[in-house]
A and B are shown apart, each in its own frame.
Chain A
Amino acid sequence: MTDADELRRRTQELLAAHPPAETDRLDFLRARFDAGLAWVHFPEGLGGLGLPRSLQAVVDAELEAAGAPDNDPRRIGIGLGMAAPTILQYGTDEQKTRFLRPLWTGEEVWCQLFSEPGAGSDLAALGTRAVREGDTWTVNGQKVWTSSAHLARWAILIARTDPDVPKHRGITYFVCDMTDPGVEVRPLRQITGEAEFNEVFLTDVRIPDAHRLGGTGDGWRVAQTTLNNERVAIGGMRLPREGGMIGPVAKTWRERPELRTHDLHQRLLKLWVDAEVARLTGERLRQQLVAGQPGPEGAGMKLAFARLNQEISGLEVELRGEEGLLYDDWTMRRPELVDFTGRDAGYRYLRSKGNSIEGGTSEVLLNIVAERVLGLPVEPRTDKDVAWKDLAR
C-alpha cells in the first residue's frame, strides 16, 4: 500500500468514526489532529505522520469531498505559517504538546510581536527588554503592526535580553501570554480608516522561562525560521488572467465607455501587459517549485506585485472621474482579514500603499535581490561589532 493509499484509508477511518454531519466542528478538528491528518509532514503525536508535505493534498481532497469542516486557515495564518514551524523546530516536547493542537484547531489564535516603532527594516535593533529573575522574565516595551493581537491567546515575541552585546546576539525568543494583565492592545488606525493592526504595549509582562523558545541570546536565529516561513507563505498561488487588481479596472473600462480617455487607455494597456507578465512569472515560479527546481525568482514577486497593485489602483481611481472623488466608508472597523476585492477603488489605492512596506520594504528587498541573487557587495555594516546599547537611535 502506498503512502497515499494509507492516508486515504486513515482519512476514511476518521470520517467513519466522526461523521462530519453529526460531529461538533471542534471535536472533529481535534480528532483529525489526533489521527495525524492535520499536517501530515509534522511528526506523529503532533498532528502529523512524518510524511512528505505534498501528501497533505490527498487528505484535504478526501475531507473536502466528505464535507468535513476545516480549521479556517486564513483566520489563523500567523499561528499556522509562522508560530507552528518555529515551535516545531525549537520548542521543547512540553511546548510542542501544549501549543500545537489548539493552534492548529484554531481554539487558540496566535499573533506576532516582532516589529517596533524603532525597529522596522532593522528588526534586530529592537528595544523591548526582557529581564530574568529566577525562572521568570519581566518584559517591557512596545510592539506595532500586530495583526490579530486583539483576538490572540498567545504571541511569538522577540525581546532584548542582553544590551551589552551586538544587536543580533542579545535577542531571545518567547511565547507570550496575551491574557497577562501587563499586555495592552490598542487598535492602530490606518490611512484607509480601519484598523487591521494593533499596537501592543508590554508593561511588566511576566513570562515563565518554560515559555522561552531556543536558547537565551539565540532569538535572532530562531526568528529566521519564523521569517523564512513567512516568505514561503507569500506567493505560490495560481491566478487566472485578469485575476489580480487589473480585473476590476478592466471590467470598469469595458462597462463604462464614457470614462475612457486616450491617456488612460495607453496606461491601462501598459499595466494590463505588466499584470499579465507578472502573472506568467508567478506561474513559471510555481512550475519550477512543482518540478523541484526552485529558482531565485520568488524574491522578486512581492516587489512586482506591490508596484502593480499601487499603479493599477491609482489608475482606477483616476478612471472613475467624479466617483473617484468619493470614498466608500471611513468608519473605523477592525476587520479580521484584509479584503482587497470587497471595497472600492479608493480603498484599494490606499491599502496597496502598504504593499511596498509590509513584510519587507521594497528598498530592502531590492538589496536582497542585488546581494543574494546578483552577488553584488553587501551594504557596509557599521553596527556589526557595536554593543546594542551603543547604537545610534
Chain B
Amino acid sequence: MSDLLYSEEEEALRAAVRDLLTDHCDTTSVLARAESDAPHDPALWKTLADGMGLAGLLVPEDRGGQGATHREAAVVLEELGRAVAPVPYLTSAVVATEALLACAEGGDLLDGLASGRVIGALAVGLHTAPGAAFAAVRADGGALHGELTGIADAAVADVLLVPADDGGLYAVTADAVTVTPQTSLDLTRPLARVTLDAAQGRRVGDAEPAVRRALRAGAGLLASEQLGVAEWALTETVRYLKDRKQFNRPVGGFQALKHRLAQLWLEVVNLRAAARAAADALATGEDTDVSVTVAQAYAAPVAVRAAEEALQLHGGLGMTWEHPVHLRLKRAKADSIAYGTTGAHREALADLVDLRAP
C-alpha cells in the first residue's frame, strides 16, 4: 500500500516554499502582474528553481537534477496552488521535464530545465487528457509548419517541445516561433498560440510516448495543486466567517453555513488522500494509471466547489476584483479542464477497472 503521509523532509520542504511565497507572492502583486503584459514572475521562478533547486526534483542526479520524486514535487505544487503563484512549475518542471525524460535525445535540454535556467513547455493544448489525441505540426524536411493553441506558459518558455506529423517530438527555441498570448480564463497560468513558419527544430524523441508520459504526470500532480487551491479556499472562508458578523453574531455560527463548510472539509480530506496516492504511485510506478485517474476524476469538482463556496460565502466581497478569491476560482475552473476533465478521466477508468460502457 502506498505511503499516503508526508515525511518530515516533505514537511520541511513545504515550510520553506510557503515561507518564500508568503514573502514574495502576495495577492496584490500577483493581481497587478496578471493585468500587465508580463503575468509571470521571473524573480520568484529564479528563487524557486535555481535558488532552492526545485525545478530539477524529477530529474535524476546523474542527469543534472535533484533525484527526488513526484512526492516532493506534489508538495511544492500544493503550495504553489495555494498561492496561485504565476510560475511555470507544473508546465516546465513537471510536464516538459517528463516529456524529455521519455526521449532518447535532449539531455542538454533536460539539464537546463533541471537547473531552472531554461524554461520548457510541451506544445500540447492544456486541455488534453493523457492518452487523448493531440495536434501535431507538419514536418517538412527539417522545417516545422503549423499553429498550436492553448499552450500553457508558452509566453515564458525558452524552448517548446513540439509534436510533428512524422511522429517526432521536436525541440524548438522560442525565437524560432511566434508566441501570441491568448486572453485566458486563468490569469495566473496564461495560454498562448504558437505559430511555426518553417521553424527549425531538433528531433529529441517520439512524440506519442513522451506526450503520454508527460500528461499523465501532469494530471497526477495537478491533483496536488488542486488540493492547495481547495485548502486555501476552505481556510480563508472559515477564517472570514469567524470574523464576519451579521445579525449580531459571527456568520460562521449559522448551521446552514457550518454544515456546508464541514462538508467541504470532508472533501478536502478525501482529496488529500487521493492526491497523495497519485503522487506516490507516480514515484513508485505501482498502480499508477488507476491512482492518477482516480485523483483526477475526484479533484476538479472539489477544487471548483471549494472556490465557488469561498466566493459565495464571502458575499459581495467575493465578487470584487480586489479580493483574491477570483484568482482561485479561475485557477480551479481552468484546472478542471487541464489534462482532461473529470468526465474524461471517469471514462478512462471504465477501461482501467473493467466497468465498461453499455
A55-63, A151-159, A370-378 - the one binding chain B? A370-378
In the complex, the chain B residue whose C-beta lies closest to that of A274 is B298
Q: Is the interface of A mostly helix, strand, loop or mixed?
A: helix
Inter-chain contact A377/B346, CB cutoff 8 Å = no
Select which of A254, A273, A281, A370 is within 8 A of B269 by beta carbon.
A281
Tell me the complex Cα distance, A367–B262, Å. 8
Shortest Cβ gap from B83 to chain A (Å): 22
A363 in the interface (beta carbon within 8 A): yes
Best-surrounded residue of A270, A274, A374, A380 (most CB of chain B within 10 A):
A374
Inter-chain contact B294/A276, CB cutoff 8 Å = yes
Per-residue CB contact flags for chain A residues 219-263 toward chain B (1 = under 8 Å, else 0) read 000000000000000000000000000000010011001001110
Q: A265-B350, A266-B346 are known contacts. Are A273 and B355 too (CB-CB below 8 A)?
A: no
Shortest Cβ gap from B279 to chain A (Å): 12
Inter-chain contact B263/A284, CB cutoff 8 Å = no
Inter-chain contact B261/A277, CB cutoff 8 Å = no
Per-residue CB contact flags for chain A residues 278-303 toward chain B (1 = under 8 Å, else 0) read 10110110011001010001001001
Q: Which residues of the other chain, B, contact A370 by a CB distance below 8 angstroms? A: 258-259, 261-262
Shortest Cβ gap from A378 to chain B (Å): 8
A366 in the interface (beta carbon within 8 A): yes
Q: A265-B358, A288-B5, A376-B252 are known contacts. Are A273 and B242 too (CB-CB below 8 A)?
A: no
Tell me the complex Cα distance, A260–B354, Å. 13
B127-135, B198-206, B208-216, B270-278 - the one binding chain A? B270-278
B3 in the interface (beta carbon within 8 A): yes
Inter-chain contact A376/B261, CB cutoff 8 Å = yes
In the complex, the chain A residue whose C-beta lies closest to that of B271 is A277
Inter-chain contact B266/A268, CB cutoff 8 Å = no
Q: A260-B358, A376-B253 are known contacts. Are A273 and B273 too (CB-CB below 8 A)?
A: no
Inter-chain contact B358/A376, CB cutoff 8 Å = no
Inter-chain contact B355/A254, CB cutoff 8 Å = yes
In the complex, the chain A residue whose C-beta lies closest to that of B269 is A297
Shortest Cβ gap from A259 to chain B (Å): 9
Shortest Cβ gap from A198 to chain B (Å): 32
Inter-chain contact A376/B298, CB cutoff 8 Å = no
A272 in the interface (beta carbon within 8 A): yes
Per-residue CB contact flags for chain B residues 88-125 toward chain A (1 = under 8 Å, else 0) read 00000000000000000000000000000000000000
Inter-chain contact A269/B349, CB cutoff 8 Å = yes
Shortest Cβ gap from A66 to chain B (Å): 29
Select which of A254, A277, A287 is within 8 A of B298 by beta carbon.
A277
Select which of B4, B241, B355, B356 is within 8 A of A280 by beta carbon.
B4
Shortest Cβ gap from B46 to chain A (Å): 35
Q: Which residues of the other chain, A, contact B257 by a CB distance below 8 angstroms? A: 376
Inter-chain contact B269/A300, CB cutoff 8 Å = yes
A328 in the interface (beta carbon within 8 A): no
Shortest Cβ gap from A316 to chain B (Å): 13
Tell me the complex Cα distance, A266–B261, Å. 27
Q: Which residues of the other chain, B, contact A6 by a CB distance below 8 angstroms? A: none
Q: In which size bucket is the chain B interface?
A: 35 or more
Select which of A272, A291, A369 is within 8 A of B349 by beta carbon.
A272
Inter-chain contact A376/B266, CB cutoff 8 Å = no
Tell me the complex Cα distance, A265–B355, Å. 8
Residue tally, chain A, CB below 8 Å to B: 44
Per-residue CB contact flags for chain B residues 22-51 toward chain A (1 = under 8 Å, else 0) read 000000000000000000000000000000
Inter-chain contact A284/B346, CB cutoff 8 Å = no
Inter-chain contact B294/A257, CB cutoff 8 Å = no
Q: Which residues of the other chain, B, contact A379 by a CB distance below 8 angstroms? A: 253, 255
Q: Which residues of the other chain, A, contact B261 by a CB distance below 8 angstroms? A: 370, 374, 376
Inter-chain contact B355/A377, CB cutoff 8 Å = no
Per-residue CB contact flags for chain B residues 274-312 toward chain A (1 = under 8 Å, else 0) read 101100000000000000001001100000000000000
Inter-chain contact B5/A284, CB cutoff 8 Å = yes
B67 in the interface (beta carbon within 8 A): no
Inter-chain contact B249/A284, CB cutoff 8 Å = no
Inter-chain contact A369/B265, CB cutoff 8 Å = yes
Q: A304-B266, A376-B253 are known contacts. Are A284 and B272 too (CB-CB below 8 A)?
A: yes
Inter-chain contact A366/B358, CB cutoff 8 Å = no
Tell me the complex Cα distance, A375–B235, Å. 11
Per-residue CB contact flags for chain A residues 352-393 toward chain B (1 = under 8 Å, else 0) read 000000000001001101110111111110000000000000
Shortest Cβ gap from B222 to chain A (Å): 16
Per-residue CB contact flags for chain B residues 235-266 toward chain A (1 = under 8 Å, else 0) read 00010011000000110110101110111011
With A262-B358, A280-B276 given, name 11 new contacts (CB 8 A): A253-B355, A254-B354, A272-B349, A274-B298, A280-B270, A366-B258, A367-B258, A370-B261, A374-B265, A375-B238, A377-B249
25 A-B Cβ contacts within 8 A?
Answer: A250-B355, A260-B357, A262-B358, A268-B355, A269-B349, A273-B294, A274-B298, A277-B274, A280-B270, A280-B294, A281-B269, A284-B5, A284-B272, A300-B265, A303-B266, A304-B266, A304-B270, A367-B259, A369-B262, A371-B258, A374-B238, A374-B265, A376-B252, A377-B253, A379-B255
A-B CB proximity, top 7 nearest: A377-B253, A370-B258, A260-B358, A369-B262, A280-B273, A284-B4, A281-B273
